[in-house]
Amino acid sequence: MLELLSLTAGYDRRAPVVRDVTLTLAPGEAVGLLGPSGCGKSTLARVAALLHRPDSGRVVIDGEPARGYRHRAPRAQRTAFGVVFQQPRQSADPRLRLADLIAEPLRATGRPEGAADKAAETADTVGLGSDLLGRRPHEVSDGQLQRACLARALILRPRYLVCDEMTAMLDASTTAALVGVVEEYRRETGAALLAVGHDRVLLDRWCDRTVEWSELGSRHDGLATAKPPAEQSPSVR
């Protein structure tokens, strides 16, 4: 379970973009977070993945409070998360071949043995042909590069996936394909998902429930916009 408790965060302490937001992901749950661009939902996603330190509030991962953020996050906690961003070109080192891009987390966590094989295997699961692995980012399309970024996010087998506008730049078919890859991974591993986006139709179709940004925070519990029953979990407080 991932608990985001009373989080306040931003880039200027006097003007936080995330104010007192509480959101919980039940084990294996897929939660869509819907909001307009610039509302702060991406910042929340970064805090949730331990990539940004909140001004106040806590992130609790499977019962254990986050013990640091960014490079201060202990490895075991950091690697619990796989993250995919909107713009593959901004999150991919242009000098790396796709094979190395995908294997980056293995090397960064000191597990270089078998990295190439693992990268090829993960590339295959995201629908990236082996012929593309020798290319650099500028030699592939946005869709192909985003597949590589998703493979990079999955390679350490994270328990939580955070997808921040993962498909905003992509065509309908690539969108459906990448969502399919994420869902296949979740079926296999039971990983939970926080999918941040601005497309309600997509998030409603993808996730167990969709929470609207404007309804999060201290005054609301976020349940108001959640998808109707089935297996509604009382996981937003």
15-23, 36-44, 93-101, 215-223 -> range binding other proteins (CB under 8 A): 36-44
Whole-number minimum distance, CB 221 to other proteins, in Å? Answer: 24
Cα–chain center distance at 14: 27
Cα–chain center distance at 111: 22
| Among the listed residues 131, 138, 231, 234, the single contact to other proteins using CB under 8 A | 131
Q: How many residues bind other proteins (CB under 8 A)?
A: 40
162 strand-pairing partners = 83, 194
Whole-number minimum distance, CB 206 to other proteins, in Å? Answer: 6
* Amino acid, single-letter form, for residue 138: H
Do the beta carbons of residue 38 and residue 56 sit within 8 Å?
no
Does the footprint of other proteins cover residue 28 (CB under 8 A)? no
Does the footprint of other proteins cover residue 168 (CB under 8 A)? yes
Checking 115-118 for CB contacts under 8 A at 24+ apart, the result is 118/155
| Among the listed residues 174, 210, 225, 235, the single contact to other proteins using CB under 8 A | 174
Alpha helix segments (H runs only) across 133-199: 142-154, 172-189
| Among the listed residues 62, 184, 214, 218, the single contact to other proteins using CB under 8 A | 184
Q: Which H or E run includes 116?
A: helix 115-125
| Among the listed residues 157, 205, 232, 237, the single contact to other proteins using CB under 8 A | 205
Alpha-carbon distance of 46 to 157, in angstroms, equals: 19
Q: Enter the tokens of residue 9.
A: 């965060």
Looking at the Cβ atoms of 10 and 127, the one nearer to other proteins is 127
Local structure of residue 171 (DSSP, 8 states): -
Does the footprint of other proteins cover residue 236 (CB under 8 A)? no
Binding mask 57-96 toward other proteins (x if CB under 8 A, else -) reads: -----------------------------x----------
Does the footprint of other proteins cover residue 172 (CB under 8 A)? yes
Whole-number minimum distance, CB 59 to other proteins, in Å? Answer: 24
Alpha-carbon distance of 141 to 98, in angstroms, equals: 12
List for the chain the helix, strand, coil content (%; round to 5). Answer: 35, 20, 45
Residue matched to tokens 């601005």: 198
- Residues of span 185-204 touching other proteins by CB under 8 A: 186, 198-202, 204
Binding region for other proteins (CB under 8 A): 30, 36-38, 86, 127, 129, 131, 140-144, 165, 168-177, 179-180, 182-184, 186, 198-202, 204-208
